[in-house]
Structure 1
Amino acid sequence: MPPVPQQHGHGMESPSIFQKSEMGAMMGGGVGLTIGFIFGSWSIIRHGAGPRGFMATLSQYMLSSAATFSFFLAIGSVIRSDSPLALRMEAMQLQLSASNPILRSKAESAQIVRARWAEERSRASN
């Protein structure tokens, strides 16, 4: 089953690539802080706090983990960005390629879609 389309805000506009990377960084920061707290606490319990003390050692674990996670999740959210521009560019490439011209009328496309829906309904009913 395909995912439900997301609506951001009141209109149908999607978030920009910068907003997506910002959201990825925020989520990564939260996950990184949590993981840093868990592993930092475990390390301090197991090996001791060291000469810098408990808080400095724990905060170093948490901040380094948060920075790493936020960096990689920000990059990952940009890579997985499905912007309308990228989809339009892909459609234009398909139309302009000489080996596979895809030029159909709206009526032909609608007939193809209806036929596919009918196939899916017949498969689902069986």
Structure 2
Amino acid sequence: MPVTVGGPYGQSQPGCFDKIKMGFMMGCTVGMAAGALFGTFSCLRVGMRGRELISGIGKTMMQSGGTFGTFMAIGMGIRC
């Protein structure tokens, strides 16, 4: 018996926009993790402490997460 694509329960493949969103979220997660590592090292090396340290790490995490997420979203869009 052949298997249908949608299935009997209304399940379907994710659309192109859903794939792009998922690529952005995966890239953002990986980028933020890398930003936390590199940002912590970079801020500690400069000599930041306290609130300045947390702010610097957060800024680095957001920048790297956004950048890597954007590139992953573009890559997923190309694959659609």
Tell me the TM-score normalized by structure 1.
Answer: 0.52
Residue by residue over 1:33-76, the C-alpha shift from the partner in whole angstroms, topping out at 9 and shown as x without a partner, is 100000001101211228x7111111000000000011110110
For 1:64, what is the secondary structure of its paired residue?
Answer: helix
Residues 14, 68 of structure 1: alpha-carbon distance in 2 compared, 3 angstrom cutoff: same
For 2:70, what is the secondary structure of its paired residue?
Answer: helix
- Structure 2: gaps (5+ residues): none
Partner of 1:75: 74
Partner of 1:36: 35
Partner of 2:54: 55
Matched AA of 1:39: F
Partner of 2:22: 23
- Structure 1: gaps (5+ residues): 1-6, 82-126
* Aligned residue pairs, count: 74
The 4+ residue runs of structure 1 with deviation greater than 6 A are none
For 1:49, what is the secondary structure of its paired residue?
Answer: coil
Aligned identity (percent) is 39
> Are the counterparts in 2 of residues 8 and 15 from structure 1 also a CA contact under 8 Å?
no
Displacement of 1:13 in angstroms is 2.6
Over aligned residues, Cα RMSD in angstroms? 2.4
Could you say which structure has the greater relative contact order, defined with CA pairs below 8 angstroms and 6 or more residues apart?
Answer: 2
* Structure having the higher Rg: 1
